[in-house]
Structure 1
Amino acid sequence: MPSPLRNRCATPHLLPGLLLGACCLNPSLALADDADLLDRPTLSGDWGGLRRELDTKGIRFTGDYSGETVYNADGGKRRSARYSQNIKLGVRFDLDRLYAADNAGVVQLTINDRRGGDGSGDLIGNRLPVQENYGGLYTRLTELSYERTLFTPDLDVKLGYMAMGNDLGGLDSGILCNFMNAGFCGHPLDMSGGSGWTNYPNARLGVGLKYNFTPAWQLRVAAFNVDPESNGNSSRAWHLTPKHTTGTVVPVELVYKRFDDLPGEYKLGWYYDSSEAKRIGSNETVSGRGGHYLLADQAVWHAQDLPGQSLHLFGQAAVASSAASPFTKWYSVGVVLQQPFASRPRDTLALGFGRAVPNPRSREVQEQTAQANGQDFPNLDNAERLVELSYGFQATPWLLLRPDLQYILEPGAFSGQDISNALVLGLQVKMSL
């Protein structure tokens, strides 16, 4: 039976969530000067100078809220709306400043809370979540890590309890989070779908290394524990140690960045999970699952008379194990226009297209099951496709409003169901607390 929370529509308990995040950061928020509210970088402000003083001493508090409301206007499973939200609170300890030491490192502590309803599961029936912040609806520890340089300023080491996707598998520029669908914002989803790869907010014990060959070239290598029984398990929300280790996932990533008038970022990555997994369509197991990916973000134009106005092209190509992953390929391309209007220096306009390919072996299993039950299998294409258009309106330095339009083609490609194409209207709200 679906949970009552998933059946709630878009009338959100938004205010309590916002007050929770704001009050955790600043109990005196209600006394803030209204004249300063629209200009400050964060909703809760400088706390009467305390926040800036702590930052100077090496203690930095951060907080973010995101709320995503979607309405399925046509197609899919049924018309209705869903709302989901994410609150992230963190504190960063700069040990160099705190102890007047050289290269003492940095400690990061982050907690996360998610609530809300599932637009894709309840309303559309597709694989690529139309709300990137839906999933894992509970409060959890998402990072407790230590980072410093080692032997040389060019080598950085980070270890602890963290999401491997924080530093690997995504574009550092953050350009893909100008979209609301999780297929764009974050990392290619076939990574986590077909291996022990974990993205935020799911965290694991691990260690990562970054080595700078030059300012433009960097190599990243990491190793993370694989623990499927703890993934998305609320009873493990505050447990750093694994419950049942099945193996280790090792990603390797080569990064190239351009820093000229047309900046760019390129990542070539490979990963391997040593865990055993069941071969799709068989009772046999395979030892190890892996994949590779290519990510790119390149500025192709900038206005000579309007600093900040530029056009970026991006692309993703990711391939996962065909033996054990239900999601074998992901491709996406798109454009992002920064500062679309001279009077809106921090706004963005984004258009993207993505294609997610199910494993043919999974499709064979679905067809065989339908035939065994005397049912007809729908005439499906071979992929779920996504078109998304969004506009990021930076209302204040701390408040972003993002009207969003998504069109999902063949939502039932992964489930083997005949579901009509869906038109989804959305609004994303982001706040720096």
Structure 2
Amino acid sequence: MSSAVRFSRTKLSPGLLLGLSCTTALPALAASDSDLLTRSTLTGDWGGLRHQLDADGVKFTGDYSGETAYNADGGLHRSARYSQNIKLGVQFDLSKLYGVDNAGKVQLTINDRRGNSASEDLVGNRLPIQENYGGLYTRLTELSYERSLFTPALNVKLGYMAMGNDLGGLDSGILCNFMNAGFCGHPLNMSGGSGWTNYPNARLGVRVKYDLSPSWQLRVAAFNVDPESNGNSSRAWHMGPKHTTGTVVPIELVYKHAGELPGEYKLGYYYDSSDVKRIGSDDEVSGRGGHYLLIDQAVWRSPTSEGRSLHAFGQYSAASEAASPFSKWYGTGVVLYKPFEGRPRDTVALGYGRAVPNPRSRDVQQDAALANGAAFPNLDSAEQLIELGYGYQATPWLTLRPNLQYIIEPGAFSGQDIDNALVVGLQVKAAL
């Protein structure tokens, strides 16, 4: 695909996106065949049209997430911040549409983000307290084509898409029982020290999955690296890169086992061919990489209550020591599914994370402070995070997640002496 290709010269404004959402909802408001509290999506089945379109090969999806965070103690300021994300998508199943076996699927997704950052404005820490904050504009998030190739074991997807949709995170979704971006998604030092991009940033690329056995899978991908387009609203609808610096290639080995105590294990490595400046030096580093290990393992299952189980998770990742200001991430925690008999879809989640700044970055900050005649604070070695949350499934389409986050050493990455912060949050998720 040519780097000059553009999706459209006409940008969707936030008002137009909202209008699309409202238009989507109108059939549901007029329909009487589904109750608001029991249907699976907020906008319902559109009087049967949505189900019929899905059967014919056109599947519409959408979701809203809103995250409010109040800094109750420590940090920089006492106040609250709100951020939101609206995602709308449509998938075209070409086999159903044209009656051809294994014709593949086309996915189109757009995102709109708005709001303010509790981390930037209130706490001063590195790990975003609201995982849906960043890139506050309407953008194309995915335009991809996916199909099996030669054998059902081999699946290929190519086009314009976010890396984290298929690599770097746990497929089980256990990590998005948390509101902090340090947990939800992939470890953030990947994007901090390479061309790996955070969702909803998308890039031209190709991803290959191959089933080695029913339990083992190999994933390999290659994505264009274009730092100038990250968070750049003028590139919101441009699929082609503005300034390519290299290619990032992640390789991931996945093991999943079923049974009474199922589990998921991922071992990954990535390499970015871009030349970047070495931290604390005018020299350049030719290429940079990193590796990671992700685990989700059920450790207990109730013998008397179907669906009640306890899962433990673990994360470890390390990035380039020469070029990444964020060198290591450690995360661990537990999630209890169905905590009460009458609440089959609720969850309780407790997690701990530790983000380690690169010592080279700390040396640069200290030297700059001394050169300006300022004292450098005596900081610990990392920003740490503790989060406790309860996921309340109010309806099949609505989840409310009140949570507490305690941020230890918020100024570890900025070199500032900031008091530990206690943040009270509420996450609202709705399937549209």
TM (norm. structure 2) is 0.95
Map 1:53-92 onto structure 2 (within 5 A): 53-92=52-91
- Is the CA contact (8 Å cut-off) linking 1:354 and 1:385 kept in structure 2? yes
Please give the residue correspondences for 1:6-405 in structure 2 after superposition, counting only pairs within 5 Å.
20=19, 22-33=21-32, 36-405=35-404
Instruction: Give the Å deviation of 1:110.
Output: 0.2
Report how far residue 136 of structure 1 moved: 0.1
* Contact 1:18–1:65 (8 Å) recurs in 2: no
Bigger shift: residues 95-104 or 27-36: 27-36
| Identical residues among aligned pairs (%) | 75
- Matches of 2:337 and 2:24, distance apart in 1: 31
- Give the conservation status (yes or no) of the 8 Å contact 1:21–1:65: no
Determine the C-alpha separation between the residues in 1 that align with 2:322 and 2:24: 47
Cα distance in 2 for partners of 1:133, 1:174 equals 15
Instruction: Give, in whole Å, the separation in 2 of the partners of 1:310 and 1:185.
Output: 20
* Contact 1:348-1:392 at 8 Å conserved across structures: yes
1:372 to partner: Cα distance:
0.4
| Deviation of 1:35 (Å) | 6.9
Offset at residue 361 of structure 1 (A): 0.3
State the 1:157 CA deviation.
0.4
Structure 2 letter corresponding to 1:250: V
Evaluate the alpha carbon distance shift between residue 267 and residue 35 of structure 1 in structure 2; reply closer, same or farther with a 3 A threshold.
Answer: closer
8 Å CA contact 1:23–1:29 kept in 2: the answer is no
The SS at the match of 2:91 is: strand
> For 1:112, what is the secondary structure of its paired residue?
strand
Task: Give deviations 1:173-224, integer Å, cap 9, x for gaps.
Answer: 0000000000000010000000000121000000010000111000000000
Distance 1:21 1:125, change over 3 A: farther
What is the Cα-based RMSD across aligned positions, in Å? 1.3
d(CA) in 2 for partners of 1:429, 1:155: 37
Is residue 136–residue 234 contact of structure 1 (8 Å, CA) maintained in 2? yes
User: Using the alignment, how far apart are the partners of 2:346 and 2:215 within structure 1?
Assistant: 28
Secondary structure at the aligned position of 1:355 is classed as strand
**1:281 aligned counterpart, secondary structure:** coil
Counterpart code for 2:413: F
Separation in structure 2 between the aligned mates of residue 42 and residue 56 of structure 1, nearest angstrom: 17
Conservation of the 8 A alpha-carbon contact between 2:72 and 2:424: yes
Shift of residue 293 of structure 1? 0.1
Other structure's SS at 1:183 match: coil
Aligned to 2:12: none
Contact map agreement 2:17 2:112 (CA 8 A) in 1: no
* Cα separation, partners in 2 of 1:189 and 1:178, compared to 1, 3 Å: same
Task: Say which SS state the counterpart of residue 130 (structure 2) adopts.
Answer: coil
CA distance in 1, matches of 2:214, 2:95: 23
AA partner of residue 118 (structure 1)? S
Separation of aligned partners in 1, 2:96 and 2:32 = 31
**Deviations 1:39-72, CA, capped at 9 Å, x for gaps:** 0000000000000000000100000000000000
State the secondary structure of the residue aligned to 1:425: strand
**Separation in structure 2 between the aligned mates of residue 176 and residue 24 of structure 1, nearest angstrom:** 32
Cα distance in 2, alignment partners of residues 205 and 197 from structure 1? 12
Whether the aligned pair in 2 keeps the contact of 1:93 and 1:106 (CA below 8 Å) is yes
Q: Deviations over 1:354-385 (max 9, x none)?
A: 00000000000000000000000000000000
Post-superposition offset of 1:29: 3.8
In 2: Cα distance, 1:425 partner to 1:367 partner: 33
Q: Which SS does the other structure have where 2:420 is aligned?
A: strand
Unaligned ranges ≥5, structure 1: 1-15
Q: Tell me the CA shift for residue 27 of structure 1.
A: 2.4
Looking at structure 2, the residues matched to 292 and 131 of structure 1 have their Cα atoms a distance apart, in angstroms, of 25
Whole-Å Cα distance in 1 between the matches of residues 20 and 305 of structure 2? Answer: 37
Q: Distance in 2 between matches of 1:233 and 1:33?
A: 43
Q: Tell me the number of residue pairs that the alignment of Structure 1 and Structure 2 aligns.
A: 418
Q: Which sections of structure 2, spanning at least 5 residues, go unmatched?
A: 1-14
- Seen in structure 2, the aligned counterparts of structure 1 residues 262 and 36 have a Cα distance that, compared at 3 Å, is same
How far is 1:17 from its partner? 11
Query: 1:30 Cα shift?
Result: 3.3
Q: Secondary structure at the match of 1:36?
A: coil
Matched residue SS, 1:110:
strand
Amino acid aligned to 1:190? N
Letter in 2 for 1:79: R
Question: Displacement of 1:23 after TM fit?
Answer: 1.3
Contact 2:75 2:122 in 1 (8 A): yes
Deviation readout 1:103-147 (Å, 9 max, x if unpaired): 100000000000000100000000000000000000000000000
Q: Secondary structure at the match of 2:360?
A: helix
Partner of 1:8: none
Q: CA separation of 1:108/1:18 partners in 2, compared to 1, >3 Å: closer, same or farther?
A: closer
Give 1:19 shift: 6.1
Q: Distance in 1 between matches of 2:23 and 2:193?
A: 37
| TM-score normalised to structure 1 length | 0.95
Q: CA–CA distance in 1 between the matches of 2:423 and 2:325? A: 25
Equivalent-residue separation in structure 2 for 1:22 and 1:121 (angstroms): 30
Aligned to 2:419: 420
Distance 1:218-1:182 versus aligned 2 partners, 3 A rule:
same
Please state whether the residue corresponding to 2:35 is helix, strand or coil. helix
CA contact (8 A) 1:281 1:361 kept: yes
